[in-house]
């Protein structure tokens, strides 16, 4: 799957988001190194702490399917925003847990523009297992 297809998949996934409180729909398409794409959407809860972001939904689903650290190639994140939609800090930390510094993060906006960054650029001073 190429970058444009991954971004389009993330944009389509927004329709599946469960966001009755914020109305802020987010879709994430996670590309694994074997070519598999795992879908993720944000799922809200009236107790906002129980809400899960689209990026973490996709990563946790990949882990449930048996994927391991190092199996992750790229993720496209899509929301209806004017600027590029970056992952929240919790999602960034989860990405650090499973992705390499060269893991591609494709940020999009409501106009379908794309900005590609690496995980290393997104989280330059990441907290890792080396810090334990």
CA 88 to chain centre: 9
Instruction: For the sheet with 104-108, list strands across it.
Output: 37-41, 26-32, 72-79, 104-108, 114-118
> Is 44 among the residues known to form the active site?
no
**Binding residue positions:** 53, 88, 91
Q: Rounded to whole angstroms, how far apart are CA atoms 27 and 104?
A: 16
Q: Out of 8, 55, 116, 121, which one is annotated catalytic?
A: 55
Token pair recorded at residue 76: 């496209």
**Binding residue positions for Zn(2+):** 53, 88, 91
Catalytic (active-site) positions: 55
């Amino acid at each position: 799957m190429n970058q444009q297809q991954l971004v389009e998949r993330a944009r389509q996934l927004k329709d599946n988001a469960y966001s009755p409180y914020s109305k802020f729909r987010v879709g994430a398409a996670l590309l694994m190194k074997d070519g598999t794409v795992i879908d993720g959407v944000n799922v809200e809860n009236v107790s906002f702490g129980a809400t899960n972001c689209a990026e973490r939904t996709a990563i946790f689903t990949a882990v449930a399917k048996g994927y391991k650290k190092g199996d992750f190639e790229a993720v496209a994140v899509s929301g209806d925003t004017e600027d590029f939609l970056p992952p929240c800090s919790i999602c960034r930390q989860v990405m650090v847990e499973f992705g390499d510094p060269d893991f591609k993060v494709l940020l999009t906006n409501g106009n379908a523009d794309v900005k590609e960054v690496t995980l290393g650029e997104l989280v330059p001073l990441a907290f890792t297992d080396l810090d334990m």
